[in-house]
Structure formats: C-alpha cells, structure tokens
C-alpha cells in the first residue's frame, strides 16, 4: 500500500523545506520535490501549509500503570494505543515503578506485545525501583539477551523509596546489562529513577571513576542539573532524560536553561505517563497524588518553540533523534529519511497535532482518531 504526503514542510528534524514523502507499507521509500507518481491504490495526503516531523518517542511510560503509594485504590490504569498516537507518540518504552507486587515484568512484556500488535512500536525494561532487580527469566542479563521486547533495566537511586543500591551493586548491574546488550544488539542500559535525595548522582560518578563502564550505560531520568554530581555527569558525556511534569511551561523554562549548560544532543524528554506523581512533605509523608500524562510531551516542546524561540529542528530532537540515538534505534526511528520507519507527525499552522502515521498506517487524521483499541470494536 502506498501513501503520498504532498508538499509538507519537512523537519527531519533538520529543516528540509517543502517535500513529498512516499510511504510503502511501513517504510519511507522516496523523498523528493514534486514527485510524479502513478501507483496502484495510492492515497494522497495534501500537506500544504503543514509541518511534518518524525514520530515522537516516549522512553519513560508506565504502560501497565503506576501507583500504589496510597493504597491499592491508587493503582493507575494501563496505557492504550490510542492514548499514545493521539499525542503524536509512535514509539514507547514501558517500565515499572515503585510497585512490583501488584505489577510484574511478565505483565509489562505482555502489554508491550499488545501495543505492537495494535500497530505501534514498543519496548520495555526489566526491573523496577527495587534491587535486586525483579526479572522474568530470573536474570537481568537473560531478560535483555533473550526477551525481544526488553532493552535495559530500571532501578531507583537517591530516593527514600529505593533499595539504597551501593556503587558496587550499581556497577555490577550495569556490567550485566551491558554484556547482554552487546550480545543481543541492544543498548543494555541502566535506566535510573533519580529522586531528590542527598546523594544525587554521586554514586554514579563514583562508578564511572572507579571502573571502565562507559557513561552511556547509565541513563538517569527526572534529571536535574542542580543535583549533586549532575554537572560532572553531563560533562562526561552522559544522556540526561528530563521529565515533562504537570507544568509544561515551567519545564520548558528549565530545558531552555539546561540548553545553555550542556550539549543539546545529550538531552532527552519523557512524560512519565500513567505513573504516579506523589507529593511529599519534608518528612517524606504523602500529602497528594497526581498522574503523569502523555500529552505533556509535545506540549513541553511546543512551549520551547513558542515561548523561548527554540527552533523547531532543535526542540523536537528531545523527543525524536536524541532518543532514537540513545536507544540505538536511529536511523530506523527519530528521523525522516528513505528507509526509516513511516512514523510521522503532521502539525497545523498553530502547532497542533493534525495527522499521525504509525508504522505506515494513519492513526490520526485532521485531529481525530481513526484507529481504535481492541475492546473498542466489541
């Protein structure tokens, strides 16, 4: 099946000008100026006046729901495919949070498979906040090496809900993930929930100074340049994953400031969608609860563009190219090139999501969903 997107203003994310994009099944097969094509069953999408971007990648999503910090009633629902594509997200990485009792790696992998079956790209992480890591096969390394969907491991550091993993244990975990990743051609990284605790990133810095483990194996999320060790971590070349939060305008200001203090290529952005957003007092007592939303992902990027004059091609790398490169998915994901997956997002003149294509299939058209979840058909 062929789809021709005609006369779109393409940011790949580098600005390419006005071009036609030809999609065949799930791949981009031709890019050019005024393509003259006569192909059987070809659908034409007129994109004049609209901006075409690579599909967004959200690498921190609680696809089976987070929560559990305020009783079983606080467990959050799972993510649906339509939740993702309606926000322009065509690829996700799912993970667990504090709760690995009512939630499991088995259920996480199953939900990852379900999202794939429904037409989008999905991966997940083994482990949770806890250490030793919970796994599917009994081993972090075996999970990464032999479970197709699993590309790394999660753990929590510098947080009162963590297992207080030691630098030696953190180094061993990173080595296990790295060697398994090399075998399976995966990033094999350690995705670290980082709280606002006293240590910050200091334990990670200790490991990097004491061992030969590359900085790329450690991926702190909820990143904050004001935490202990943060400046040194980015100076060593580490990826820093910022979280959108609930106040996207404030997050955009934080990102703009970070862009003046570190290389933009090291910066990524994720939503923490369907995760719990607990509020704690000074004694770590729970005083409120919120939920992460995926629509904050592009909303934060839009604030960067409209409020802080960050060029579109720079702003969107935080949720496209940079993430794809960090996850070893580039140039399959995160760009608009011949041979790349046909994951595309079209914006209207107001920078609102107009059309979304996931793996070559139209999921959103003219701002309205045109796909449904499994039980929506029943």
Q: Is position 378 within any domain?
A: no
Does residue 326 contact residue 184 with C-beta atoms inside 8 Å? Answer: no
- The predicted pLDDT at position 284 comes to 80
* In a shared domain, residues 28 and 93: no
The catalytic residues are 272
pLDDT of residue 79: 96
Q: How many domains does the chain have?
A: 2
pLDDT tens digits along 73-83: 888 889 999 99
Q: Is residue 224 part of a domain?
A: yes
Give residue 343's pLDDT.
98
pLDDT at 216 over 90: yes
Per residue in 212-238, is it b (16+ CB within 10 Å) or e — as a string?
Answer: ebebbbbbbbbbbeebbbbeebbebeb
Expressed as residue numbers, the domain containing 271 is: 56-326
Q: For residue 13, what pLDDT is reported?
A: 97
Q: Which residue has the higher pLDDT, 129 or 1?
A: 129
Residues 27 and 141 in one domain: no
- Is the residue at 376 inside a domain? no
Residues 46 and 68 in one domain: no
Whole-prediction pTM? 0.96
- To the nearest 10 degrees (0 to 180), the angle between helices 296-308 and 248-259 is 60
Q: Quote the pLDDT of residue 203.
A: 98
Q: Within a domain: residue 198?
A: yes
Say if residue 100 is in the same domain as residue 16: no
Q: How confident is the model at residue 366 (pLDDT cuts 50, 70, 90)?
A: very high
pLDDT at residue 376, rounded to an integer: 86
Judge if 92 and 185 occupy the same domain: yes
Beta-carbon contacts of residue 347 (< 8 Å; ≥ 6 apart): 50, 51, 52, 53, 353, 354
Do 97 and 70 belong together in one domain? yes
Residues 17 and 139 in one domain: no
Q: Exposed/middle/buried for 280, CB within 10 Å: 0-12, 13-18, 19+?
A: middle
The pLDDT tens digits for 53-79 are 999 999 999 999 988 778 888 888 899
Q: How many helices (H) and strands (E) does the chain have?
A: 10, 19
- The predicted-structure confidence for 172-196, as pLDDT tens digits, reads as follows 999 999 999 999 999 999 999 999 9
In a domain, 355, yes or no: yes
321/347 same-domain check = no
Q: Which band of pLDDT confidence, cut at 50, 70 and 90, is reported for residue 168?
A: very high
Q: What does the angle CA 175 – CA 176 – CA 180 come to, to the nearest 5 degrees? A: 115
State the Cα–Cα distance between residues 375 and 378, nearest whole angstrom. Answer: 5
Q: How confident is the model at residue 377 (pLDDT cuts 50, 70, 90)?
A: low
Q: For residue 162, give the CATH number of its domain.
A: 3.20.20.140
Q: What is the mean pLDDT of the chain?
A: 95
Per-residue confidence (pLDDT) for residue 69, from 0 to 100? 75
> Which pLDDT score is estimated for 279?
76
Residue 41 shares a structural domain with residue 80: no
Model confidence pLDDT, tens digit, residues 15-32: 999 999 999 999 999 999
Residue-level pLDDT at 378: 57
Does 305 share its domain with 194? yes
Integer Cα distance of 318 and 6 in angstroms: 26
Q: Going by C-beta distance under 8 Å and a sequence separation of 6 or more, which residues neighbour residue 334?
A: 54, 57, 320, 321, 322, 323, 324, 325
In a domain, 377, yes or no: no
Same domain, 146 and 270: yes
Alpha-carbon distance of 277 to 372, in angstroms, equals 28
In the listed set 309, 326, 343, which residue is the last one of a domain according to the structure? Answer: 326
The string of pLDDT tens digits covering residues 257-302 is 999 999 999 999 999 999 877 776 887 886 777 789 999 999 999 9
At 360 the three-state DSSP class reads: coil
Contact 219, 241 (CB under 8 A): yes
- Is residue 375 assigned to a domain? no
Q: Specify the pLDDT at position 223.
A: 98
Taking CA atoms, 66 is separated from 73, 91, 269, in Å, by 11, 19, 19
Q: Please choose, from the candidates 219, 6, 27, the residue with its C-alpha nearest in 3D space to the C-alpha of residue 127.
A: 219
Is 242 among the domain residues? yes
* 189 in the same domain as 128: yes
């Amino acid at each position: 099946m062929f789809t021709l997107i005609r006369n779109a203003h393409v940011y790949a994310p580098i600005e390419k000008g006005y071009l036609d994009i030809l999609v065949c099944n799930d791949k981009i097969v031709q890019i050019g100026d005024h393509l003259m094509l006569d192909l059987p069953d070809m659908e034409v999408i007129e994109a004049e006046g609209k901006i075409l971007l690579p599909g967004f990648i959200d690498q921190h999503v609680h696809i089976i729901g987070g929560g559990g910090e305020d009783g079983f009633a606080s467990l959050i629902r799972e993510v649906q495919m339509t939740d993702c594509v309606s926000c322009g997200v065509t690829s996700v990485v799912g993970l667990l949070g504090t709760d690995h009792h009512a939630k499991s790696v088995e259920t996480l992998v199953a939900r990852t498979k379900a999202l794939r079956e429904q037409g989008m790209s999905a991966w997940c992480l083994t482990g949770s906040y806890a250490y030793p890591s919970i796994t599917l096969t009994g081993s972090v390394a075996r999970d990464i090496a032999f479970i197709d969907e699993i590309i790394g491991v999660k753990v929590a550091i510098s947080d009162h809900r963590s297992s207080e993993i030691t630098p030696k244990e953190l180094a061993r975990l990173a080595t296990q993930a790295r060697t398994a990743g090399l075998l399976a051609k995966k990033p094999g990284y350690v995705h670290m929930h980082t709280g606002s605790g006293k240590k910050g990133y200091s334990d990670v810095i200790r490991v990097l100074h004491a061992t030969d483990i590359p900085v790329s194996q450690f991926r702190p999320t909820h990143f904050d340049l004001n935490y202990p060790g943060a400046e040194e971590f980015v100076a060593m070349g580490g990826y820093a994953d910022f979280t959108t939060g609930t106040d996207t305008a404030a997050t955009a200001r934080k990102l703009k400031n970070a862009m003046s203090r570190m290389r933009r290529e090291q910066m990524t952005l994720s939503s923490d969608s369907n995760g719990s957003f607990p509020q704690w007092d000074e004694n770590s007592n729970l005083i409120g609860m919120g939920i992460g939303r995926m629509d904050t992902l592009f909303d934060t990027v839009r604030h960067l563009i409209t409020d802080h004059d960050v060029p579109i091609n720079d702003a969107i790398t935080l949720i496209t190219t940079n993430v794809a490169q960090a996850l070893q998915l580039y140039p399959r994901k995160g760009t608009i090139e011949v041979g790349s997956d046909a994951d595309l997002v079209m914006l209207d003149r107001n920078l609102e999501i107009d059309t979304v294509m996931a793996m070559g299939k139209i999921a959103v058209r003219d701002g309205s969903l045109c796909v449904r979840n499994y039980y929506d058909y029943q």
